[in-house]
Amino acid sequence: MAEVKLDLFRRFGDLATDALASHREEIDALNVFPVPDSDTGTNLYLTIAAARDRLREFTGPDWREGLRAFSRGALLGARGNSGVILAEMIGALLRRLVQATEDERTAVVFADALRKAGNAAYAAVGEPQEGTMLSVLRAAADAAEACVEIDETARTRDVMSVAASAARAALARTQEQLPALAAAGVVDAGGRGICVLLDAFETALTGRRPSPQVPMASTPHIPIPIQTGMGAGDGHALEPGGPSYEVMYLLDAEDAAIPDLRKRLQPLGDSLVVVGGEGIWNVHVHVDDVGAAIEAGINAGRPHRIHVTHFAEQIAGQAHRHATRGGRAVIAFAAGPGLAELFRGAGAIVIEGGPHRRPTTSELLEAITASGADEVIVLPNDAPTRQSAEAAARTAEDDLDINVAVISTRSQVQGLAAIAVHEPGRKFDKDVLEMTATARHARHGAVTISNTRAITMAGPCMPGDALGVLDGDFVKVGQDLETCATYVLARLIGGGGELVTLVSGLEDPTGELAGAVAAWLAANHPAVDVMVYDGGQERYPLLMSVE
Do 57 and 132 fall within a single domain? yes
CATH number reported for the structural domain that contains residue 280 in this entry: 3.30.70.1150
Whether the link from the prior residue into 34 is cis, omega within 30° of 0, is: yes
| Confidence (pLDDT) at 80 | 83
State whether residue 139 is helix, strand or coil: helix
Model confidence at 36: pLDDT above 80: no
State whether residue 336 is helix, strand or coil: coil
Do 193 and 46 fall within a single domain? yes
Model confidence at 201: pLDDT above 60: yes
Task: Tell me the one-letter amino acid at 258.
Answer: I
Do 63 and 200 fall within a single domain? yes
CATH number reported for the structural domain that contains residue 534 in this entry: 3.30.1180.10
* pLDDT band of 8, cuts 50, 70, 90: very high
Model confidence at 433: pLDDT above 80: yes
**Cβ atoms < 10 Å from Cβ of 400:** 17
The candidate with the shortest Cα–Cα distance to 202, out of 217, 213, 191, 216, is 213
CATH number reported for the structural domain that contains residue 95 in this entry: 1.25.40.340
The C-alpha angle 522, 525, 529, rounded to 5 degrees, equals 70
* Dihedral sign, Cα of residue 118, residue 122, residue 124, residue 130: positive
CATH number reported for the structural domain that contains residue 356 in this entry: 3.40.50.510
Model confidence at 396: pLDDT above 90: no
| Confidence (pLDDT) at 34 | 64
Q: How far apart are CA 265 and CA 286, in angstroms?
A: 10
Do 200 and 268 fall within a single domain? no
Model confidence at 219: pLDDT above 50: no
Give 91's contacts (C-beta < 8 A, 6+ positions apart).
71, 74, 75, 120, 275, 276, 277
Give 100's contacts (C-beta < 8 A, 6+ positions apart).
1, 106, 109
Q: Write b or e for each residue in 101-114: b if 16 or more Cβ atoms lie within 10 A of its Cβ, otherwise e.
A: eeeebbbbbbbbbb
Q: Is there a domain that residue 396 lies in?
A: yes
Give 257's contacts (C-beta < 8 A, 6+ positions apart).
300, 301
- Would you say the pTM of this structure is higher than 0.85? no
* pLDDT band of 35, cuts 50, 70, 90: low
| Confidence (pLDDT) at 220 | 42
Model confidence at 227: pLDDT above 50: no
End position of a domain, from candidates 385, 413, 441: 441
Q: Is there a domain that residue 225 lies in?
A: no
Q: How far apart are CA 391 and CA 407, in angstroms?
A: 13
End position of a domain, from candidates 322, 339, 356: 322
Task: Tell me the one-letter amino acid at 455.
Answer: I
Model confidence at 343: pLDDT above 70: yes
CA 58 to chain centroid: 13
State whether residue 228 is helix, strand or coil: coil
The candidate with the shortest Cα–Cα distance to 382, out of 336, 434, 423, 345, is 336
Helix (H) or strand (E) holding 88: helix 80-99
What range defines the domain where residue 66 resides? 6-217
> Using CA atoms in the order 55, 58, 62, 67, what is the torsion angle rounded to 10 degrees?
-20
Do 145 and 44 fall within a single domain? yes
Q: What is the CA radius of gyration of the chain?
A: 26
Q: What is the 3-state secondary structure (H, E, C) of 439-471?
A: HHHCEEEEEEECCCCEEECCEEECCCCEEEEEC
- Give the pLDDT mean for 179-204: 89
Q: Is there a domain that residue 238 lies in?
A: no
Do 72 and 204 fall within a single domain? yes
Is beta strand 443-449 parallel, antiparallel or unpaired with respect to 466-470?
antiparallel
Do 384 and 504 fall within a single domain? no
| Confidence (pLDDT) at 324 | 54
| Confidence (pLDDT) at 241 | 56
Q: How far apart are CA 413 and CA 542, in angstroms?
A: 11
Do 63 and 130 fall within a single domain? yes
**Beta partners for residue 334, in sequence order:** 352
End position of a domain, from candidates 297, 322, 347: 322
Give me the number of domains the chain comprises. Answer: 4
Q: How far apart are CA 369 and CA 362, in angstroms?
A: 10
Q: How far apart are CA 5 and CA 66, in angstroms?
A: 10
Q: How far apart are CA 109 and CA 145, in angstroms?
A: 10
Model confidence at 256: pLDDT above 60: yes
Q: For residue range 275-318, list pLDDT tens digits in order.
A: 888 889 989 888 888 999 999 999 999 998 888 877 666 545 54
Do 291 and 364 fall within a single domain? no
Q: Is there a domain that residue 107 lies in?
A: yes
Model confidence at 235: pLDDT above 50: no
Q: Are the C-beta atoms of residues 340 and 358 closer than 8 Å to each other? A: no
Q: Write b or e for each residue in 419-446: b if 16 or more Cβ atoms lie within 10 A of its Cβ, otherwise e.
A: bbebeeeeeeeebbeebbebbeebbbbb
Q: How far apart are CA 214 and CA 190, in angstroms?
A: 18
Do 534 and 496 fall within a single domain? yes
The candidate with the shortest Cα–Cα distance to 385, out of 444, 312, 332, 457, is 332
Q: Are the C-beta atoms of residues 190 and 29 closer than 8 Å to each other? A: no
Q: What is the mean pLDDT of the chain?
A: 85
| Confidence (pLDDT) at 183 | 81
Write the DSSP symbol of residue 260. Answer: H
Which string of DSSP letters, residue by residue, matches 479-504? Answer: SSHHHHHHHHHHHHHHT--SEEEEEE
Do 427 and 469 fall within a single domain? no
Do 457 and 513 fall within a single domain? yes
Q: Is there a domain that residue 469 lies in?
A: yes
Q: How far apart are CA 164 and CA 159, in angstroms?
A: 9
| Confidence (pLDDT) at 195 | 95
